[in-house]
């Protein structure tokens, strides 16, 4: 189970570290081609989501790696499940039915929470 957690957490952390950093630093115009939903949100909210993703990526790895507050790792995975529930809702509300990536991320985060 430990190996399964590290594989899942590593993949999720890499994805969310990149995704969060992009949201935290790029302009709305540079985000729009990848994320059409940025036009429906204030930039402060987009930046906040990016920060949450970066912190969540750290939360998946660092607590388990250091042994300090290890309960934060499954909490971060559960947070990503909730994030994807919200992201799916935003996509569907906007009429975007392409939510396969959201579903994969939701299932992966759920599996990481279970494996933790």
- List pLDDT tens digits, range 52-93: 999 999 999 999 999 999 999 999 999 999 999 999 999 999
At 95, is the pLDDT very low, low, confident or very high (cuts 50, 70, 90)? confident
C-alpha distances in Å from residue 79, one per residue of 34, 36, 102: 23, 23, 14
Asked if pLDDT for residue 2 goes beyond 80, the answer is yes
Q: pTM of the prediction?
A: 0.93
Instruction: Let me know: does 106 contact 84? Beta carbons within 8 Å.
Output: yes
> Mean pLDDT over residues 104-116, rounded?
96
Instruction: Let me know: does 106 contact 88? Beta carbons within 8 Å.
Output: yes
- With residue 79 as reference, give the H or E element that holds it: helix 72-93
């Amino acid at each position: 189970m430990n190996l399964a957690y590290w594989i899942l957490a590593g993949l999720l952390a890499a994805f969310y570290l990149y995704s969060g950093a992009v949201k935290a630093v790029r302009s709305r115009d540079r985000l729009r081609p990848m994320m059409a939903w940025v036009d429906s949100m204030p930039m402060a909210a987009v930046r906040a989501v990016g920060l949450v993703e970066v912190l969540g990526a750290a939360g998946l790895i660092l607590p388990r790696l250091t042994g300090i507050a290890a309960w934060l790792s499954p909490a971060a995975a559960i947070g990503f499940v909730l994030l994807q529930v919200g992201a799916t809702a935003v996509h569907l509300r906007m009429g975007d039915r392409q939510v396969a990536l959201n579903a994969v991320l939701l299932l992966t985060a759920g599996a990481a929470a279970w494996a933790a």
